[in-house]
Amino acid sequence: MEPVRSLHDLLDLQDVDSQIDRLIDQRQGLPELTDYRAAHEATVQLGAKLAAAENRLRDTGLAIDKTNGELELAQQKASAEEMRLYAGGLSARDADYLRREVEMLKAKTGGMEDEVLALMESRDVIEAEIGRLEGELEAATDRKGRLDAQIREAWKTIDEELAVKERRKTEIMPLIDEDLIDLYESLRETRDGRAVGALSGGVCGACHLMLSSAEENAARREDPPRCVHCRAILVP
């Protein structure tokens, strides 16, 4: 394989790899991804709040049913005791006791009626909260769905471009010596992808530093040529 040709192909490979890297960064850094994560978190939080509100509504409904049941029993007992009181035939002592019993039962039912009213008001508040949360959750879910569609469309475009670059890379790779490929890959890992630079006018295309005539001659004698400053592979 002709060494200079292989080096020029290596420069082409770096250009393709750089384009691939940019496309991958673009794919991973879509602005919509941040918005999608926020929308997803919103649906999770709203879902949790909605579930908690629905649990409170269920508990409140059970409390209303329980209190209503107890109220009905207390009212029945108060009515029955009052009927006994009005029926007469009781001693003064028993009548006084029964009268106080009826008053106590009526006071109890009055308190329970107030409790039922308070529970019903609480139920109305919770139902309003559930309606609001359902609306917010629907809006957040719709937003998440729209963002998901936008991301998938953007990814489709990027992936198509990546496929083109990957095909081009597979065409270039066989043109380059394997040892040179190994060195190139090793340098890419440590030099943020800039492993190769054109040597033009005594300037390294990778680090953009000037090489003296002696340094340039020394670099050209290496196999492959290497920059004395950054150790990138030089392409004359």
Task: Give residue-wise pLDDT tens across range 37-79.
Answer: 999 999 999 999 999 999 999 999 999 988 888 878 877 777 7
**How many whole angstroms separate alpha carbon 108 and alpha carbon 204?**
95
- pLDDT top residue among 78 and 9: 9
Task: Give residue-wise pLDDT tens across range 16-44.
Answer: 999 999 999 999 999 999 999 999 999 99
What's the distance, Cα to Cα, between the start and end of the chain in Å? 17
**How many whole angstroms separate alpha carbon 106 and alpha carbon 77?**
10
Task: Give residue-wise pLDDT tens across range 212-233.
Answer: 999 999 999 998 999 999 999 9
Please identify, in words, the CATH class of the domain defined by 29-159.
mainly alpha
29, 189 Cβ separation under 8 angstroms: no
- pLDDT top residue among 93 and 12: 12
74, 108 Cβ separation under 8 angstroms: yes
Q: In the chain, what percentage of residues exceed pLDDT 90? A: 69
Query: pLDDT at residue 129 above 90?
Result: yes
- pLDDT top residue among 182 and 114: 182
Instruction: Return the pLDDT at 2.
Output: 43
